[in-house]
Every structure is written in C-alpha cells, then in structure tokens.
Amino acid sequence: MIRALCLEGKLGTSLWLWRSVVQQLRTPDVLTHNYLINALCKSGDLWRAEWLVNEMLNQGPSPTCATYNTLMNGYCLANKVDKALDLFSTMTKRGISPNRVSCNILVHALCQKGLLGDAKKLLEKILDDGSEGDNASSLITSTILMDGYFKNGNTDEALACWNGVLQRDVVAYNVVIHGYCLNGDINLVYKSLCEMFKSGHLPDIFTFNTIISKLCKSGRIHEACYVFSVMSRMDVFPDHITYKMIIQGLCINGDVVGAENFLSHMLENSFVPKPLIWNVVIDAYGKFGHIEKALFVKNQMIEYGVGPNVHTYNALIHAEIRNGSIEEAHYLRKEMLMNGFFPDLVTYNLLIGAVCNLGEVSSALQLRDEMLRRGCTPDVITYTELLRCYCKQSKMKEAEELFFKVQSSDLPIDHVPFLILMKKWFKMGELDKVFDLYQIWCKRGSLKS
C-alpha cells in the first residue's frame, strides 16, 4: 500500500500510514522504508529522509546498502556531494559494504562537479575490490568517469580509461564518440563508429544524434543528411531531436525547401513537431522573402493542432517588415492579441524599427507607450531606433534628451547611439558637440576597462 501511494506521489498519506503502523507497535519492513526514503528524496525532503534512516537505526529494521544508496543519490541530485561522501563513509563504519551502485552514484556526482581525481580514486577502489560486482558494473563506472574526462577536455585520461575497459558496450562507444565530437575530431568519430561495427555493437539513436549534431554545428549539413539516410536504412528510427537538428541545419544553410521536405517526412511518420521546428521553417522562409510559403507553413501547423506562439508571429512580422508590408505586420500584431498572445520586446522592437524607418515618430512613440502599459520594458534597441528616428527628422532636442536619458539609465549602451548622434551633428557642422560626445564615449570605454 505504501509503495503504491509513493508511486502515485501521495507522500503525505504514505507517511501517515507508516506512522499508523508504527503506533500499532508493528515495524514496516526495509523495502517499505526504502520506498518512503526514495519518495522523500525525489520530493527534495532530504532532512526527513535522513531522519527516517536514523529511525531505522534506532527502531529497526536495519538499513541496507540500497537504503544508503537511495539517500546518497538524493544528496547528489541536490548537489550535496559532501553529505553523500559522508554517508558513504558512515555506511562502511556501520559494517555495510558499499556495492558498485554506491560507487557509480558517487563517481557520477564527482564527475559532474569536475572532481575527476576523487572520482578516479573511487574507480580504482572498485577495480581493486574483486569481491563483489561484475564486469558490467565496472564498465558503467568507467564509462561515467570517461564521460567526465571528455567533458572537462582531458582526452588523454579519457582514452586511458577507455583502453582499460576490456568489455565494451554501446553506451561506452557513445561516450567516446561524443567525446571526439566535443574535441572536434570528426575523423576519430568515424573511426570509433567503424570499431563499433567491428566489435558487433550496432549504433543506436544516441550514436546517430551525436554525430548528426556535430555535423550540423560544423556546417556539414549534407553529410548529416547522409548519416540520417544511413540510420533509416539500419532501422534506427529518428526522433524529434534528430529532425530538429537536420531542419535547423538546413535552414541555417539556406536550404529551406530541404527543411520543409524533412518536416513533411516527420508528418508522414506521425511525428507532429513542436512549435520550435515549425517556427524555424517559417523564419527561414521569411528571411528569404517567401512570405506566402511562411504563411502556408503557419496554417499547416494549425491544421495539425499546433498553435502558433509569440515566436511564430515575430518571425512572420519580421518577414512582412523586411518585405515592406508594414500594414500586414500590424495586422499580425492584432491577430496575436486576438489569439491571446501579448507582443514581447522583440515584437515591439521590430514594429518600432519599421515605423521609425518611415519617419513616423508619433507611431513609434505610441508603440513605446503601449509596450510600457503592457509591462514590457524597452531596451537599448528600442531607444536606439527612436534616436535614429529623431535624428532623421532633425528633432535634435528630443534626440539629445533621449540620449542622455538612456546614458544615465542602467541599460547596457553600446557604440551605436553615439555614432548615430555624432554623424548627425557632423552633418549639421556641430563639431564641438561631436567632440563632446567622443569624449563621453572614450570616458565610458575607460570606465569599463
């Protein structure tokens, strides 16, 4: 009963039932206690989990290695590795021998904190202790340590660990392939993949996703597409992550048609993409001026039950503005509001920039006032666009007031507002003002350094 309640997340009821049993002078067995401790650790209530272990020590039943492992794992998940190490020492003092699960928990936690020296000592302790465990457990621990070395850039130590592993599995090969990807050596990635095949281990989805990710990040998108075709022929089915990487890679490299083909491939295989993937394709079509296709993809996502979000609308608004269709951009803003989405900082900056380019200062100020009413704080881009508009309209008093307002604020101002104002003063022959601004700019630079 207590186990079922713990699995359902009814921790309060579980503890009440445990107390009821104890009050009847009956002692729940060690498994019941372990279920409770595990549930407490998952909920982050480590103090109560530790209290329950102490109750077991005082009242029975005696904690087992699994009990301590559960609490140790809870400490590690809460980033309290010191307490986990103390518990590791405590259990040995109480005559309970740690097993390889205990060591795996600690090695993983130490690697995540970058304490690879301590993790290596623990691994050596495991390998020296031949009394308990098997090769599979040793492999898990070695793989965890190897992964830690790769992530910290210590390839030599990682490979030393790898060479010490006699019986390798798919996970171990995945760690090595991921490590080589981190180091940027794609040739060694392919070499490890060949070794993997020769040893009789077939790559899984994690293997292929790791390689595809590296190829996409390196701009080798056609190679990534080839790897995708290989995995399909091997009956390793792509997941959302695979499709996302390929579609993003194709869009970045300008092959939006190819990206949409992969999107269609997803839909044919009953994979309905999350908004992010749809938005990537919409944004790419917009950037290349294919607004009709961008709108078609937006309508398609709605047909498949995926609602557009603020990023979808921002991509479309950006596309309309780039095409010079300011009215359509404003219509999309209204559509956003009708669909329950409030424009964000990006939306307002796009629209303010667009009306400023047309010299419509009043429209820009109305949009700024609207964003303030909606609790959206303007940033340096907002004010830079307004400053540019004031200068374009030769409203230098307003431009100066805005400039010094931004300068005195906490906004991280860059060189652009200075250049806009300096160029305008230079055209007007106000060289003294240009020099004054230059001195302020230089002073800001020296303060930052």
Cis bond upstream, residue 61 (ω within 30) = yes
Higher per-residue confidence, 113 vs 328: 328
Q: Is 10 helix (H, G, I), strand (E, B) or coil?
A: coil
For range 410-435, the mean pLDDT: 87
The pLDDT score that the predictor gives to residue 158 is: 80
CATH topology of domain 1-98: 1.25.40
Among residues 188, 240, 238, 251, the alpha carbon closest in space to that of 214 is found at 188
Q: Are the C-beta atoms of 150 and 158 separated by less than 8 Å?
A: yes
Confidence (pLDDT) at 185: 84
Whether 135 shows a pLDDT value over 70: the answer reads no
Residue 392: exposure state from Cβ atoms within 10 A (0-12, 13-18, ≥19): middle
Q: What is the dihedral of CA 309, 314, 320, 325, to 10 degrees?
A: 100
Measured CA to CA, the distance from residue 416 to residue 380 in angstroms comes to 10
**268 vs 105: which has the higher pLDDT:** 268
pLDDT per position as a tens digit, 355-410: 999 989 999 999 999 999 999 999 999 999 999 999 998 999 999 999 888 888 87
User: How far, in Å, CA of 313 to CA of 56, rounded?
Assistant: 58
Per-residue model confidence as pLDDT tens digits over 297-315? 999 999 999 999 999 999 9
Residue 280 binned pLDDT confidence (cut-offs 50, 70, 90): very high
- Report, as an integer, the average pLDDT of 257-278: 92
Looking at the chain, the whole-number percentage of residues with pLDDT higher than 70 is 90
In the block, residue with structure tokens 């790898």: 162
What whole-number distance in Å separates Cα of residue 69 and Cα of residue 102?
5
> What integer pLDDT is reported at residue 292 of this predicted model?
94
Q: Strand, helix or coil at 41?
A: helix
Q: Tell me how far apart the alpha carbons of residues 231 and 172 are, in angstroms, rounded to a whole number.
A: 19
Phi, psi of 170 (to 5 degrees): -60, -40
Residue 446 has pLDDT above 50, yes or no: no
Query: What is the share, in percent, of the chain residues with pLDDT greater than 90?
Result: 45
Predicted confidence (pLDDT) per residue in 31-70, tens digit: 888 889 888 888 888 999 899 888 888 888 889 999 989 9
Quote the tokens at residue 178: 């991921």
Asked if the model's pLDDT at residue 129 lies above 70, the reply is no
Rounded to whole angstroms, the Cα distance separating 432 from 316 reads: 44
Amino acid letter, 446: S
Q: Which of 317, 337, 336 is nearest to 327 (CA)?
A: 317
Higher pLDDT, 5 or 364: 364
**Interval 67-99: pLDDT, tens:** 989 998 898 888 888 888 788 878 878 888 877
Interatomic CA distance for residues 301 and 272, integer angstroms: 9
Provide the mean pLDDT of the chain: 86
Indicate the SS3 state at residue 23: helix
Q: Count the residues in the chain.
A: 449
* Contact assessment for residue 403 and residue 387, using Cβ atoms and an 8 Å cutoff: yes
Q: How far is CA 74 from CA 44, 141, 363, 367, in A?
A: 8, 18, 56, 50
pLDDT band for position 20 (cuts 50, 70, 90):
confident
Q: Which residue has the tokens 């979000």?
A: 309
Q: How confident is the model at residue 447 (pLDDT cuts 50, 70, 90)?
A: very low
In the structure, what pLDDT confidence band is assigned to residue 449 with cuts at 50, 70 and 90? Answer: very low
pLDDT for 120 equals 65
pLDDT reading at 13 higher than 80: no
Alpha-carbon distance of 69 to 80, in angstroms, equals 14
Q: In this structure, how many other beta carbons lie within 10 angstroms of the beta carbon of residue 256? A: 24
pLDDT at 34: 86
Query: What was the pLDDT predicted at 224?
Result: 95
pLDDT in tens, 186-223: 999 999 999 999 998 899 999 999 999 999 999 999 99
At 284, the pLDDT band (50, 70, 90 cuts) reads very high
The whole-number pLDDT of residue 108 equals 73
**What confidence tens digit (pLDDT) does each residue in 110-124 have?**
677 766 666 666 666
> What pLDDT sits at residue 159?
81
Quote the CA–CA distance of 286 and 315 in Å, as a whole number: 7
Which pair of tokens denotes residue 20? Answer: 């009821």
Eight-class DSSP state of 71: H
The pLDDT of residue 137 is 53
Distance separating alpha carbons of residues 374 and 363, to the nearest angstrom: 17
Helix, strand, coil distribution of the chain in percent, nearest 5: 75, 0, 25
Element (H, E) at 123: helix 116-128
Q: What is the DSSP letter of 336?
A: H
DSSP symbols for 186-248: HHHHHHHHHHHHHTTPPP-HHHHHHHHHHHHHTT-HHHHHHHHHHHHHTT----HHHHHHHHH
pLDDT confidence tier of residue 414, bands split at 50, 70 and 90: confident
Interval 158-187 mean pLDDT:
82
Contact 36, 18 (CB under 8 A): yes
